[in-house]
Structure 1
Amino acid sequence: MKQSSILLLSFCLVSGGAFAGGTTEAGVGGALGGVLGAAVGQSIGGNTGAAIGAGVGGAAGSAVGADRRSRTEAALGGALGAAGGNVIGRQVGGNTGSLIGAAAGGGAGGALGNYMGNESRRDDDRDDRRYYDRRGDRHEHGRGHGWGHRKHKHRHHHDWDD
């Protein structure tokens, strides 16, 4: 039973890449990755292995489901959320609590990381647009200061012109 659920979760995680691209998908990927990583880590290395596995699985699942430009942020959020949720869930509810905590933490962390990555890029794009708009305004209206050879007010007379 344990192996069939692990296989089902891994299939869901891998197939989640086909739907990659949003905050919801990053959350679902982080949750599935966190649970899968915690289960595999628990069987290999006990409680410490479960926490490490949840972190690695949450990072991988969140990155698979995140937007292309926000994968790093989603992976960091999914890893921290899944590992933290696993540890806290174990203290509250034992092995079952650790799996639930890994799922909740990985999902929330992956979704939050993807959202924050998107917002950061949106702000950067907005700043770039403002910069280029201002720069364009300076160069579009009139001659301005761009005509270097015509902006001198005084003509220079040379001795040999007389």
Structure 2
Amino acid sequence: MRMTLPALALGILIAQGAMAAGDGTAAVGGGVGGALGNIVGQQLGGATGAAVGAGVGGAAGGAIGAPRGNKTEAAIGGGLGSAGGSVIGNKLGGSTGSTIGAGLGGAAGGAIGNNLADDGSRHDSGGKHHKGNKKHKNKNKHR
């Protein structure tokens, strides 16, 4: 129980850093989804159900909150973070700690996944493609 407060403080710091980095929607989505999934999972299947529910909820929340093109990475991050946070929180603080851990883990994981997707190499031409514009336009014109 003495580890709950430092773990909570560290999770809040990570979540605040994620929000400051511009990954707020994926962080909030992963956190809320993870916490809600954890609560539902606890009711259905105890600690194991809580971890599974947190993972599914965190993945869904991270994907919903992430911008287009980053959804897969944010879903993976939110799901893994929520499930891991649920397991660790359960060891530190029981069912309440599990819910808090799932929320913080989902927020951090969703933000990290979204941020990693932004750092990936993209080849975006701005939507303008000029393929095939060098054809002779007067080729079949009658004279």
Please, what TM-score do these two structures have when normalized by structure 2?
A: 0.70
Q: Which residue of 1 aligns with 2:123?
A: 125
Please state whether the residue corresponding to 2:122 is helix, strand or coil: helix
Q: Which residue of 2 aligns with 1:84?
A: 84
Within 1, Cα distance between the matches of 2:103 and 2:75? 14
Within 1, Cα distance between the matches of 2:42 and 2:96? 11
Deviation at 1:125, TM superposition (A): 2.8
Within 2, Cα distance between the matches of 1:71 and 1:87? 24
Pair 1:100-2:97 in alignment: no
Within 1, Cα distance between the matches of 2:23 and 2:62? 9
Q: Which residue of 2 aligns with 1:147?
A: none
Extract structure 1 runs of 4+ deviating beyond 6 A.
none
Q: Which has the higher contact order (CA 8 A, sep 6+)?
A: 2
Alignment of 1:11-160 (within 5 A): 23-120=23-120, 123-125=121-123
Please state whether the residue corresponding to 1:67 is helix, strand or coil: coil
Q: What is the percent sequence identity of the aligned residues?
A: 59
Within 2, Cα distance between the matches of 1:92 and 1:104? 14
Q: Which has the larger radius of gyration?
A: 1
Q: Counterpart of 1:47 in structure 2: which amino acid?
A: A
Q: Counterpart of 1:98 in structure 2: which amino acid?
A: S
Deviation at 1:91, TM superposition (A): 0.3
Q: Which residue of 2 aligns with 1:15?
A: none
Within 2, Cα distance between the matches of 1:106 and 1:32? 8
Deviation at 1:93, TM superposition (A): 0.7
CA-atom RMSD in angstroms: 1.4
